[in-house]
Chain A
Amino acid sequence: MGPEILRDLTFDIPRRSFQFLTGPSGAGKTTLLRLLFLSLQPTRGLIRMFDRNISSIPREEFPMLRRRVGIVFQDFRLLDHLTTYENVALPLRVRGKDESSYRADVLELLKWVGLGERINVLPPVLSGGEKQRAAIARALIDRPEILLADEPTGNVDPPMARRLLNLFLELNRLGTAVVIATHDLSLMDQVEARRMILSQGRLDIYE
């Protein structure tokens, strides 16, 4: 058992809400996102997700729950042998859907995130910002109920960060709850949104 990273946290993420999760490096932002993404189980305490206690959910059911959550990893996690289009379409492909049923949606989303001209490009030749947007598009493609983004603007310049933030706001406007983990104060200052501040394992929330 490792050190206790988070303790005594009580919070909820309302439907259609928008919030920043912030705090110094090592405060536990990624750990908290992983708890919300079911890739980590709390050593104690209770997490309810979609009205279910996640401790009592058998592992076979996790894929179905994860399909309702979109996640943007800090390191993008794009598959280098798949094109931008194929990476973004991956969540739909693994659900067994026929390509003809989602091709138009994927292309539309890629245009929406500004990658309409990069659909056949492999990730190694994409810029940091393009990879970031491809990762975001992959998280959005199946219209998740909640989007978790870990440092989504960590690898881009300020204008690109602003554009990505607009993307998240637009997504939130369309009904998805958004949690953005960041320690970029200038990014947070651009939006009046709920702030969840992690410090020394504790969470303070500023509505």
Chain B
Amino acid sequence: MSESRTKRTHEVPQEPAEPQQQPRRTEMRVRPMGPIVPSTNVSGHALMCVIAIMSFLACLTLGGVSMVRATAQSWQSQISREITIQIKPDDNLDMEKALADARDLALTFSGATGGNIVDRAATARLLEPWLGEGLDLDELPVPRLVIITIDENNPPDFAAMRKALTEIIPQAFLDDHRTWVDRLVAMANTTAMIGTGVLVLVFSTMVLTVIFATRGALSGNRHIVEVLHFVGAEAGFVASEFQKHFLRISLKGAGAGGLLAALFFALAGYWQSRTLATPETDQATALFGTFTIGYGGYLGILAIMIVIAVLTTLTARLTVTRTIYEIDLIRSDPGRTDSYQS
């Protein structure tokens, strides 16, 4: 066989392949070139649905976990911003003076930013659920409270404050909410950990589902890979054709899933803001926090869409490259299964 190649044009054969035809009809128009990889087929649609569902679930999980984390942090932050001085009534104690002294003393400590004495009316309101309306505080030995707000990043020395208080007012008791804060921190950490675990599981499922669905969709196109390979297409060309096709599918699927999730959060937030101060909303807010995921959440949804698109495209590329490699393996090992063995 010769190395040299000569350029020539197709000449009209002496005996035409087709019988003599009558005078020619008008020249046929060629339709616009179709894509090498068919743009729509059943497996492509199925893959798009799988991607849309998985991205929707992943986005919901991401938004849900970030909401739970924000709520847990807000609980912890709210309770650790305040400490309470409780003063028990005593026969020899001028309660109003003791309350003022306790507040003034607490404010001398660095890290205490403000003090508020819970007045008699507010105290009665606090006890109202248990003791009913029209409570006369003089008839009951009810402790009174001073609420001190503190700088949570630079809290005062609680031990020193407690010591100073008991020296001046023996009936005073300082509650730094440490027990509650510790419990809330533990609960917040557990919640965040569970949320992160769920997120990891959903993401892993998403990754595996997308990979297997992509490979499944590609297996129906193996004959295209073979034909392209045998008409002289380089592996890079074949891979890039499939890559483009699967990128389109994944962008459509992930876009639909991500947009649905974003719409869900936007609608839930809108519903919550429209129904503020109703028992249902208060309950939902107490449990789940506010249904707003902020710019960070929407960026997260965008990131998930990008991750899915990259994942699908990469899987398509690797699978096509591997298919070509397998075709060449059959070449070097004829004992392997071969679809066109004679």
- A residues sitting closer than 8 Å to B (CB atoms) are 1-2, 13, 15, 26, 28-31, 37-41, 43, 49-51, 59-60, 62-64, 66-68, 71, 73-75, 77, 79, 81-83, 85-86, 89-91, 93-96, 99, 103, 105, 107-109, 111-114, 116-117, 119-120, 133, 138, 142-143, 145-146, 150, 163-164, 166-167, 170, 174-175, 177
Please determine whether B335 and A13 come into contact, CB atoms closer than 8 angstroms: no
**CB-nearest residue of chain A to B342:** A30
Please determine whether A117 and B28 come into contact, CB atoms closer than 8 angstroms: yes
CA distance A1 to B335 in the complex (A): 5
Chain B residues 286-324 with CB under 8 Å of chain A are none
Q: Which 8 A-B pairs have the closest CB atoms?
A: A30-B342, A114-B18, A94-B233, A67-B232, A81-B38, A170-B13, A91-B231, A15-B2
CA distance A164 to B15 in the complex (A): 11
Please determine whether B237 and A107 come into contact, CB atoms closer than 8 angstroms: no
CA distance A59 to B325 in the complex (A): 9
Q: Is B129 an interface residue (CB 8 A)?
A: no
Q: How large is the interface on B (under 10, 10 to 19, 20 to 34, 35 or more residues)?
A: 35 or more
When each residue 1-45 of chain B gets 1 if its CB lies under 8 Å from chain A and 0 otherwise, what string results?
111011111111111111000000100111101101010000000
**B140–chain A nearest beta-carbon distance, Å:** 87
Q: Say which residue of B17, B30, B38, B341 sits within 8 Å of A133 (CB atoms).
A: B17
A60 contacts which chain B residues (CB < 8 A)?
234-235
Q: Say which residue of B227, B234, B341 sits within 8 Å of A77 (CB atoms).
A: B227
A175 contacts which chain B residues (CB < 8 A)?
6, 8
CA distance A96 to B3 in the complex (A): 22
Contact flag A66-B230 (CB < 8 Å), given A2-B335, A105-B10, A167-B17: yes
Q: Is B222 an interface residue (CB 8 A)?
A: no
Please determine whether A41 and B234 come into contact, CB atoms closer than 8 angstroms: no
Q: Is B151 an interface residue (CB 8 A)?
A: no
Q: Is B141 an interface residue (CB 8 A)?
A: no
Stretch at the interface among B73-81, B277-285, B326-334: B326-334
Contact flag A119-B28 (CB < 8 Å), given A94-B231, A94-B232: yes
Contact flag A174-B8 (CB < 8 Å), given A2-B335, A116-B28: yes
Q: Is B244 an interface residue (CB 8 A)?
A: no
When each residue 28-68 of chain B gets 1 if its CB lies under 8 Å from chain A and 0 otherwise, what string results?
11110110101000000000000000000000000000000
Q: Is B224 an interface residue (CB 8 A)?
A: yes
**B14–chain A nearest beta-carbon distance, Å:** 7
- B residues sitting closer than 8 Å to A (CB atoms) are 1-3, 5-18, 25, 28-31, 33-34, 36, 38, 223-224, 226-235, 237-238, 327-328, 330-332, 334-335, 340-342
B227 contacts which chain A residues (CB < 8 A)?
77, 79, 90
CA distance A164 to B18 in the complex (A): 10
6 inter-chain pairs at a CB distance below 8 angstroms, sorted by A residue, are A13-B1, A66-B232, A79-B224, A85-B31, A94-B36, A107-B30
Please determine whether B233 and A63 come into contact, CB atoms closer than 8 angstroms: yes
B10 contacts which chain A residues (CB < 8 A)?
105, 108-109, 112, 174
CA distance A50 to B3 in the complex (A): 5
CA distance A145 to B232 in the complex (A): 14
Q: Say which residue of A75, A77, A86 sits within 8 Å of B34 (CB atoms).
A: A86
**A25–chain B nearest beta-carbon distance, Å:** 8
B7 contacts which chain A residues (CB < 8 A)?
143
Q: Say which residue of A28, A113, A143, A177 sits within 8 Å of B8 (CB atoms).
A: A143
Please determine whether A145 and B1 come into contact, CB atoms closer than 8 angstroms: yes
B341 contacts which chain A residues (CB < 8 A)?
30
